[in-house]
Amino acid sequence: MTNKLEPLNGKVIYIPDPFIRFEDVKSACEFYLRYKDKPELLIKEQSKYEEEATGFIEALSSCGEWFSDDIYEIKNDYNKWLFKLAFKDVIKDA
């Protein structure tokens, strides 16, 4: 017995949303790249995140030298937090 494919001929087929939508990923990437390494800009344009981002700004301003390891560590922590924030709706486990 062979299975034959039937033509669609007016049938309605439900196609569920993909697990991850392209538009959501694109939006998350744009958000992340806009505010990466820029907590001041995030607060200025997205005031709802002021409480979380202010801690990073205060930590950065308290660092003495511009090229200190502390600055890189704080920026890395900020960028990790920002990544999770940007992609939380795309990747539910973030």
* Tens-digit pLDDT profile for residues 4-37: 666 677 777 776 666 777 888 999 999 999 999 9
Q: Write down the pLDDT at residue 66.
A: 62
pLDDT of 93 over the 50 cut: no
Q: Is 73 contained in some domain?
A: yes
Q: Is 46 contained in some domain?
A: yes
CA pair distance 35, 19, nearest whole angstrom: 26
Q: Is 63 contained in some domain?
A: yes
Q: Is 3 contained in some domain?
A: no
Contact 43, 82 (CB under 8 A): no
pLDDT, the chain, mean: 84
Q: Kindly report, residue by residue over 72-86, the tens digit of the pLDDT.
A: 899 999 999 999 999
Q: Is 8 contained in some domain?
A: no
